[in-house]
Amino acid sequence: MKLLVLNAGSSSLKFAVFGKDLKLVLKGQVSGIGSKPRLEVDGQPAREVPHVTTPTEGLLVAAEWLADNGHEPARFNGIGHRIVHGGTQYVTPVAVNDAIQHDLEALRALAPLHLPFGLGVLREMRRVASEVPNIACFDTAFHATQPELATRLPLPRSYFDKGYRRYGFHGLNYEHVVEALPGLSGKPLPRRLLAAHLGSGASMCAIFDGKSVATTMGFSTADGLVMGTRTGSIDPGVLVALMRDEHLSLDQLEDLLYRRSGLLGLSGISPDMRILLASDRTEAIEAVDYYCYSAARHAASLVPALGGLDAIVFTGGVGENAGPVRARILTHLKWLNVPMEQVFVVPANEELTIARNVKALV
């Protein structure tokens, strides 16, 4: 059994090969797409690939490298893809055929800044390795267990039927947290678990008996916690005022909310938490303070969905590596009386979750 996992973003294509018993064989990525693209594979020097302008072109570079190094794509037993959105129809991993690809293409409007990249790579890999099962694994699927009350938006009921609802994201990594935490802690999975996925994109999830019951991201990936360049939750009246008073077009508003706000906007320095923590500038300090305070408020808002709290787990690049951020968030939450021995760090691993799902299907 040999599996390939692909994770396409706007500026990168990550890939990983798993062998027997889901042992990781190698990881790599084509990064810097759109600026300074380069091929990076663990243990090898990075190599520039200047002709790559899209994740789909990055896939061809990765596929060529894999073939040259004994991992011909057509010889894998299965290929797994991280697909950001499955809508309400796709809530479990699925082997993709032409009809399903068509269904997924129709969902682009639900995640216009993310879904096209994953679907483009999926389509191309189905062409390159047409005889290999290509399995779509959905970031929204983990949250399909939420009660309907948690998925509704306070809009007229007719909009819910059109798909305007809370979906939630980062589900593949939350699934990994549920699988991995007992092995790391040596204890059964806490019944009432608050998971914080903190990275350039960030969310939190209330997990009860291993299932999602509420999460901070909703209809889009811009909701909830403040992020690297995304606003997180924001008064909708501000958006109306920006369009009316600042004469922002829809495209300009989208760019502001997704690419120029968050830590970058608050600090005016960088969206990178490492840079902000290392800076003594007032703007950087204020941005980090806002991030931690906001995260704690969102964390507290999830506790009613659990009826209490037994444990907290941090994951994602910031959650795993930024100890000062974890400490500040926990300080804001000390009134919850969660013992420190019930606070955990689980390294993110969406690729392993995808590989596990692919193995189960093929």
Q: What residues are labeled active site?
A: 139
Beta strands 38-41; 47-48: pairing state? antiparallel
- Positive or negative, the CA dihedral 125, 126, 132, 135 is positive
Q: What six digits make up the tokens of 239? A: 């958006």
Is 196:333 a contact under the CB 8 Å cutoff? no
What phi and psi values does residue 115 have, to the nearest 5 degrees? Answer: -60, -40
Q: What six digits make up the tokens of 122? A: 């999926």
Sheet holding 134-138, edge to edge: 47-48, 38-41, 24-31, 13-18, 3-8, 78-83, 134-138, 94-95
Q: Using CA atoms in the order 164, 170, 175, 176, what is the torsion angle rounded to 10 degrees?
A: 170
The Cα-based distances of 16 to 6, 198, 273 in angstroms read 7, 22, 26
Terminal Cα-to-Cα distance of the chain (whole angstroms): 9
Q: What six digits make up the tokens of 75? A: 């010889």
The Cα-based distances of 273 to 152, 201, 277, 283, 314 in angstroms read 32, 12, 6, 13, 15
- Please report, as a single letter, which amino acid is at residue 330: L
Number of residues in the chain = 362
Exposed, middle or buried by CB within 10 Å (0-12, 13-18, 19+), for 218?
buried
Beta strands 202-208; 211-215: pairing state? antiparallel
